[in-house]
Amino acid sequence: MGQEEKPDRYVSFRGIEGESNSRELVTLLRRHIDDPAKSNRFWEQFKEKLARVGQPDGNSGRRLDELFLIHSYINNLRELFEKYDDLPALALLEQIEEESC
């Protein structure tokens, strides 16, 4: 995609795969936080939030999605991916931040 053709989130979300990119990033994240050696209380609570994605009944009527959680915890995610030198996850996180957050 050329520079002129790059999607612009301020004009339209057309051409931006926000939902699928968010789900893919969560999959990359889970490789780390599902490992007991890499998890901690924060990530255990984050997994509880992930379990409530798409389930407003379990979240006081609020409908969470992966993109909302990524946006809300972007610095924590970046720190984790940097700690484990997960370059593919960092690249996808940067893309999501530029396109969707």
The 10s digit of each residue's pLDDT in 18-71 is 889 999 999 999 999 999 999 999 999 999 999 999 887 766 777 789 999 999
Mean pLDDT of 77-93: 98
In the prediction, which pLDDT does 95 show? 93
Q: How far is CA 1 from CA 5, 29, 93, 95, in A?
A: 6, 27, 19, 14
- Looking at residue 14, what is its pLDDT? 64
Nearest-angstrom CA–CA distance, 5 and 57: 40
pLDDT at residue 90 in the model: 98
**99 — pLDDT class (breaks 50, 70, 90):** confident
